[in-house]
Amino acid sequence: MKYLICAAALVTLFSGCKKDETVRAYGGGDATWKLVELNGTTFAADATIAFPEKGKITGKGPCNEFASTIEVPYPWFKAGQIQSSRKACPALAAETAYFRALTDATLVEVSDQVMILSNTDGLSLVFKALEQ
């Protein structure tokens, strides 16, 4: 029984040491990213995304702040359910399009100061790193 308790304690201890394999560890965590283009069209409203810690996504839509999760390894992208405040504003349609695109994205690529989220159906979100 003593060995079983020790083994359980070791598993618990080392499970927190699992390496981050998400976009955060491959350049995504180095910046806050501003959405500049959605499906080939300039995104005129303000929207951001960031990966502040392992498994976490945060950001701002044109109207509301949001949070989500990510667990899939790079280059895959799968945002969990988006939690956001519920303020209305004139750009609510743009925010709805942004949040829908985030949940539909399945791939991510980070190259220098540009990050692209996409999927095989032609979805494309182009972000540029904001100055720190």
For residues 126 and 112, the answer to whether their CB atoms sit within 8 Å is: no
Q: How far apart are CA 31 and CA 131, in angstroms?
A: 8
The closest alpha carbon to 52, from 67, 64, 73, 37, belongs to: 67
* pLDDT score, position 6: 43
Domains of the chain: 20-129 (2.40.128.270)
pLDDT by 10s per residue, the chain, length 132: 555 444 444 444 444 456 899 999 999 999 999 999 999 999 999 999 999 999 999 999 999 999 999 999 999 999 999 999 999 999 999 999 999 999 999 999 999 999 999 999 999 999 999 987
Contact of 11 with 18, CB cutoff 8 Å: no
Whole-model pTM?
0.85
